[in-house]
Amino acid sequence: MKSEITLLPGDGIGPEVTNEAVKILKAIEKEFGHSFALNHALFGGIAIDKTGSPYPQETQDLCKQADAVLLGAVGGPKWSDPTAKTRPEKGLLDMRSDLGVYANLRHIRTYPQLINCSPIKNDYLDDIDIMFVRELIGGIYFGDKVRLDDYAKDVCEYSTSEIQRITKVAANLAQQRRGKITSVDKANVMATSQLWRSVTTDYLETNYKNIELEHMLADAATMHLLTRPEDFDVVLADNLFGDILTDEASLLTGSIGMIPSASMSDDNFGVYEPIHGSAPDIQGKELANPCGIILSASMLLRHSLGLKEEASAIDNAVESVLDDGIFTVDLSKENFVSTVAMGNAIASKISS
Ligand code: IPM
Ligand code: MN
């Protein structure tokens, strides 16, 4: 298969981990006889430095012509002055909206090999496998904003059709999994949450009768995620709750460095990125865990290119490296390998 992938390494550890994902994609190309055209583009802080915009026109064009986009990370202290004209995070939000990638899938699972890395007690961590479906281009992130010296406002809006389309994504995933959706909201306080609750209920009753739906208030969800994580299958949430809950849930895995994500539009197009940030404190030190972006590359192959076997080859290679006790520093403080060594170990599992 021939396909085009746009790479946005971004800032901080973004370029280091992206290099490792490229290594893995090249190993897959060779092993399975595909041809991936990998085009680099500027994005985030580095794009602000070079062009004045975090999401310049040339990058927009390269993203739109590609089959999928693989992103490292954006942001850093250099660009975090709140009075600056623009910020890397603005590029991220503009890109999500411009590309219409409304469905953010974040897969949180526990690895038996990493059970001791989690700050959560081991008894809670058997076989956790949660797929978060976060609405990504609506809600309070994109509503009207006002910022004056002594007053500020963020508007949260959702329409029925926005809620229906994200519910559909969650339902299709739940059907391939354990058939359950937990929808998170604050229907005891927010009007958008009340609409969310009634639309998800009606939509699933009409179109997916076999799916079990439970509603949960966001504050309660933060507790239940830690005390009975095994009860969750698909978690459906709006933009803000989904952002917060997925960072929390990453603790179950043991390291945020392990977690991939996919942000999808309707036509299988997607932006794939690890959920960790740009970690400027460890930039250039070869300490970053490349598994998050490598597993994101696996999601890219599975969801945008339909290459399931190849995606499984990556997932298995990561597991096998963990079985061998090869860890980056976020997973083992005493005995760890560099970012490059981790990438090499995973690549060699694919090629062998
Ligand atoms: C994420 C990030 C972003 C978000 C930030 C960087 C704008 O936290 O992808 O989860 O809040 O969506
Ligand atoms: Mn976040």
Task: Give yes or no on whether 1-100+267-352 and 119-253 have one common fold.
Answer: yes
What distances in angstroms separate CA 60 from CA 6, 7, 57, one per listed residue?
Answer: 10, 12, 5
Nearest CA to ligand 1 atom 11: 243
pLDDT above 90: residue 35: yes
Note the pLDDT of residue 124: 82
State the closest ligand 1 atom to the C-alpha of 104, by its place in the atom list counted from 1.
9
Tell me what pLDDT residue 118 has.
Answer: 87
Output the CATH code of domain 119-253.
3.40.718.10
Assess whether the C-beta atom of 135 lies below 6 angstroms from ligand 1: no
Q: How far apart are CA 269 and CA 259, in angstroms?
A: 20
Looking at all shown ligands, the one closest to residue 73's CA atom is 1
Pick the CATH number of 1-100+267-352 from 2.30.30.30, 3.40.718.10, 3.40.605.10, 3.10.100.10: 3.40.718.10
Residue 237: what pLDDT? Answer: 98
Ligand minimally distant from the alpha carbon of residue 92: 1
Q: Which strands, in side-by-side order, build the sheet including 270-274?
A: 35-40, 2-10, 68-73, 270-274, 260-264, 103-109, 129-135, 234-237, 180-185, 212-217
- The verdict on whether 247 is a catalytic residue reads yes
In this prediction, residue 125 has a pLDDT band, given cuts at 50, 70 and 90, of: confident
pLDDT reading at 60 higher than 90? yes
307 in contact with ligand 1, CB cutoff 6 A: no
The C-alpha atoms of residue 126 and residue 112 are separated, in whole angstroms, by 8
Ligand 2 ion: Cβ-proximal residues, 5 Å cutoff: 243
- Nearest residue (by CA) to ligand 1, atom 10, is 243
Please give the distance, rounded to the nearest whole angstrom, from the Cα atom of residue 168 to the centre of ligand 2: 23
Q: Which of 61, 219, 231, 323 is catalytic?
A: 219
Q: Is the CB of 243 under 6 A from ligand 1?
A: yes
Judge whether 123 counts as a catalytic residue: no
DSSP H helical ranges for 66-146: 88-99
Average model confidence (pLDDT) for the chain?
96
Residue nearest to atom 3 of ligand 1 (CA): 89
Question: What 3-state class would DSSP assign to 330?
Answer: coil
Q: What confidence score (pLDDT) does residue 172 get?
A: 97
Index of the ligand 1 atom closest to the CA of residue 243: 10
* C-alpha pair distances (Å), 57 with each of 61, 252, 350: 6, 39, 36
Token pair, residue 177, equals 């999994």
Q: What is the pLDDT of residues 141-184, one digit of tens each?
A: 999 999 999 999 999 999 999 999 999 999 999 999 999 999 99
Given pLDDT bands bounded at 50, 70 and 90, which one contains residue 83?
A: confident
315-333 residue pLDDT tens: 999 999 999 999 999 999 9
Considering 94, 98, 154, 247, which one is annotated as catalytic?
247
**Alpha-carbon distances, residue 51 vs 42, 58, 84 (angstroms):** 9, 10, 15
Q: Is residue 89 in contact with ligand 1, taking CB distance under 6 Å?
A: yes
d(CA 93, CA 246): 17
Q: Structural domain boundaries of the chain?
A: 1-100+267-352, 119-253
2 is catalytic: no
Residue nearest to atom 8 of ligand 1 (CA): 243
- Given 243, 272, 330, 349, the catalytic residue: 243
pTM of the model as a whole: 0.94
How sure is the predictor about 295, in pLDDT bands with cuts at 50, 70 and 90? Answer: very high
Residue 184 token pair: 């998170």
Q: How large is the average pLDDT for residues 46-70? A: 98
Residue 352 has pLDDT above 80, yes or no: no
Number of H helices, E strands in the chain: 11, 12
Query: Per-residue pLDDT for 226 more than 80?
Result: yes
